[in-house]
Amino acid sequence: MKVSYQWLKEYLDLDVQPRDLAEKIARTSVDINDIYSLSDGLKKIVVGKIIAMKDHPNSDHLHICQVDVGADKPLQIVCGAPNVQVGKKVITALNGARIGGNVKIKRGKIRGEESEGMLCALQEIGFSDSIAPKAYDEGIYFLPDDAKPGDAVFPYLGMDDTIIDTDVTPNRGDMLSIYGNVNDIAAFYGLEPHFKEIPVKENSTTATSDLVKVKIANEKEAPTYKLRVIKGVKIADSPLWLQIRLWNSGIRPINNVVDVTNYILLKYGQPLHSYDYDKLPGHDFGVRHAHEGEKFTTLDGDKQTLKANDLVVTVNDQPVALAGTMGGEGTAVSDTTTTVALEAAIFDPVMVRKQARRLDLHSESSMRFERGINPATVETALDEAAELIKRLAGGEITTGIVTGSEKPAVNKQITLSLKKVNAVLGTSLSMAEVVDTFKRLHFGYQISGDDQLVVTVPARRWDIFIAADLYEEIARIYGYDKLPATLPVMTRNRGGLTPRQRFIRASRHDLEGMGLTQAISYSLTTVKRAKQFQIDPLAEPMKLDFPMSTDHVATRMSIVSGLLLDIAYNIAHGVDNVALYEEGRVFLPKGGERPEEQEHLAGAITGQLLANDWHHQDRPVDFYQVKGIIERYLHNIGLAGKVTYVADQSRPELHPGRTANILLGNQLIGFLGQVHPKTAKAYKIPETYVFELNLEALIAAPKVADVYHPISKYPAITRDIALLVANDVTNKMVMDVINKKGGAFLKHVHLFDVYSGLHLPKGKKSLAYTLTYQDDHGTLKEEQVNTAFKKVTKALESQLAAEIR
């Protein structure tokens, strides 16, 4: 909230500089975003009076003005504003002045005529379009008639005021008003606030109840709802003092009725809404849920389609406002309004927040309704607003208030123990010092014995519920900087990673060592992407009730889809060789309100793993390179069970001929394969290979500890064998036979050649292997190797119908 220092001084006898006050607020109450004056950086901008004007001889829109700036003679200034008039007091930037945007004004000639300064609009001296009055959007601003030529313009426009921009936390909704800020500041400076309430004077014989009726069906939706009616008003611009209050608080002045409602909102934190009584579709007010698909046009001209969870104010069951959020275009106060129906209410904060968020209609009113409203000042704010409207717009206030519902202002009583207060804060405060805190806060209290204190918390501090809240009040009023500094008492434990943390960290190191780069993608995605690339496919993902955007509506059940978006981003920016991995959680709905969270490890590779150079030829990544990465990783983590790769054609996002499930024993722990060309096209990526592993299963699986084996000092013997086998015989089948029949001295089997084509029978292929034999305890004899090799050869011929070439 933008808090005016001069407005605070109306209610407090402050003897402290604005920046010191802001520092105190930051240490005691809420954070500070900024401290500034609208005049910061501006100079030599004064009041000028236009005493003569003529058309520019060389332009059809420029005027040559003679401007009195309190000097010996008037200045000649060329001005192009369409509303420039003789006799008006205007904002004048002199030669050498600095205006908004740090622009320097210099004496010069404009189309041959000398100009000694500039006549300014509010926007040209730093006002934003959002706060400058609309009436002056196309021209210069006119100062009040009593402005003295030559004086600085800043006091006339409130630009000499210091604005303290506070960052109010959700629990301190009371600080979204001058009333709340004054009470808080008074407490930590020990001051007495002197609020000037304006009593209402009803001067009409007409009863309000004869003009409007209110019926609230569900008081939870509108705990408080009150109406007043003011007849015979005349819409005009607000007086300058009121406009200054508003634009210094970041609100644009509109007219004398709307401006009063915004003024009261800032003063008491109580949103009000004014209706043009004659535009209402009837006179029976109510509050209800919107009908599904109901249409409503808001004040900003946007047509909204409402849902059944939205809350609306109705008249004769027709919506006239989105409760707590924004009024309707059809009943807005305009220049023709003569009778105003004035509403003060408290609406359900949760419903207001959901509605404002869904419709993206966050306003000053909705922000306050969401954080809470002081029930003790609802009627006070309504009466003061009605009286101010009567004073500024004329008319008569009808007799009485029509009340549809009313939430009583209830004070809370909380019992404190002085001993517990000091134990929690680490202080040695006396009962008198604690009591002084509550005196400053204007909280009631009653001492009971030497240790007990019963505190009565007024309704204006609805954020206080329990004793711990009062501990905080004592600490901040006493001074956080005065609390003793002590180190926390704790046992000394040796730090370290858990086995799970070590496993995950080792997994990351392994993949980074194999050339992959870590990526981090969103845990939320679209429903379609959430269903893709699952290890063990499920029906539907978990969906958010209130997603941030249409791209983040469901929890991911696989990591691969996020990596493919990263691949697409890199490809779009000219990076063709991308190798990414991600370790993170997926969320699997297994019944109940919360999903099952699993750690997964996934990778996506496109292009080449190794860059081209003089001794490496182009070699795009393929299925076997990715399989090799997985095999090396699984070997490094030391799985005790047997890992197998089984061809799979059931995954629609992957190429049916280049996909395999990864099994640990009979347990599915992951998959690898090429992204299906159709899926790749949808992601706008080239040929890409992916994998995903269930880390939960790998963490739980039995491991084999690393055991040191000395390198054998005895020589190894190798044998090469080439086989002619049927095309449906796989490498795994051959390897299984060789390893089973190879004997105790067979150390390693390596496939070094695969050939099919010319010079081979149809339906046949040639596989060539190197078998390595070695004895760790002695030198092998030729006969031992030959015997073992013959057993392998015979087994291949008999079991796989292989022909030895």
Bridge partners (DSSP) of residue 345 are 225
Residue 609, pLDDT above cutoff 90: no
* Token representation of residue 142: 């006119």
| Contact of 298 with 327, CB cutoff 8 Å | yes
* Token representation of residue 561: 């889809």
Is residue 123 very low, low, confident or very high in pLDDT (cuts 50, 70, 90)? very high
Residue 616, pLDDT above cutoff 90: no
255 vs 616, which has greater pLDDT?
A: 255
Between CA 144 and CA 135 the distance in angstroms is: 15
Between CA 539 and CA 562 the distance in angstroms is: 19
Q: Where are the alpha helices (DSSP H) in 514-664?
A: 527-531, 560-572, 623-636
| Contact of 181 with 191, CB cutoff 8 Å | no
The three-class DSSP label of residue 665 is: coil
Phi, psi for 108 (deg, rounded to 5): -170, -175
436: Cβ contacts below 8 Å, ≥ 6 apart: none
| Contact of 22 with 1, CB cutoff 8 Å | no
Q: Quick check: pTM over 0.85?
A: no
The residue type found at 210 is D
In the prediction, which pLDDT does 282 show? 95
| Contact of 500 with 585, CB cutoff 8 Å | no
Kindly report, residue by residue over 99-110, the tens digit of the pLDDT: 999 999 999 999
- DSSP 8-class letter at 757: S
Phi, psi for 575 (deg, rounded to 5): -100, 110
| Contact of 314 with 225, CB cutoff 8 Å | no
Between CA 764 and CA 754 the distance in angstroms is: 11
Bridge partners (DSSP) of residue 791 are none
Kindly report, residue by residue over 623-680, the tens digit of the pLDDT: 999 999 999 999 999 998 889 999 999 999 999 999 999 999 999 999 999 999 999 9
Residue 491, pLDDT above cutoff 90: no
| Contact of 434 with 251, CB cutoff 8 Å | no
Residue 158, pLDDT above cutoff 90: yes
- The 3-class SS string of 683-730 reads HCCCCEEEEEEEHHHHHHCCECCCCCCCCCCCCCEEEEEEEEEECCCC
| Contact of 405 with 223, CB cutoff 8 Å | yes
In the prediction, which pLDDT does 437 show? 94
Name the strand (E) or helix (H) holding 365.
Answer: helix 364-371
The three-class DSSP label of residue 81 is: coil
CA atoms within 13 A on the CB side of 499: 7
Burial 585-602 (b: 16+ CB within 10 A, else e): bbbbbeeeeebeebbbbb
In the prediction, which pLDDT does 197 show? 79
Residue 707, pLDDT above cutoff 90: no
Kindly report, residue by residue over 26-44, the tens digit of the pLDDT: 999 999 999 999 999 999 9
Across the chain, mean pLDDT equals 92
% of the chain exceeding 70 in pLDDT: 100
Between CA 695 and CA 601 the distance in angstroms is: 6
Angle at 427 between CA 422 and CA 433, to 5 degrees: 80
In the prediction, which pLDDT does 805 show? 82
Specify the long-range contacts of residues 507-512, CB closer than 8 Å, at least 24 apart. Answer: 507/583, 507/601, 507/633, 507/637, 507/695, 508/581, 508/583, 510/632, 510/633, 510/636, 510/637, 511/581, 511/601, 511/603, 511/629, 511/633, 512/581
Angle at 229 between CA 225 and CA 235, to 5 degrees: 120
- CA–chain centroid gap for 397, Å, is 44
E-assigned strands of 40-135?
Answer: 43-55, 63-68, 75-79, 89-99, 103-104, 108-110, 113-115, 117-120
Is residue 591 very low, low, confident or very high in pLDDT (cuts 50, 70, 90)? confident
Closest CA to 148 of 85, 71, 70: 70
Name the strand (E) or helix (H) holding 167.
Answer: strand 163-167
| Contact of 285 with 342, CB cutoff 8 Å | no
| Contact of 714 with 775, CB cutoff 8 Å | yes
In the prediction, which pLDDT does 135 show? 86
Residue 613, pLDDT above cutoff 90: no
Kindly report, residue by residue over 493-507, the tens digit of the pLDDT: 778 899 999 999 999
Between CA 240 and CA 153 the distance in angstroms is: 13
Closest CA to 107 of 84, 81, 85, 75: 75
Tell how strand 89-99 and strand 103-104 pair up: antiparallel
In the prediction, which pLDDT does 286 show? 96
Please state, in angstroms and as integers, the Cα–Cα distance from residue 250 to each residue in 525, 529, 558, 700, 745, following that order. Answer: 37, 43, 46, 59, 86
Residue 593, pLDDT above cutoff 80: no
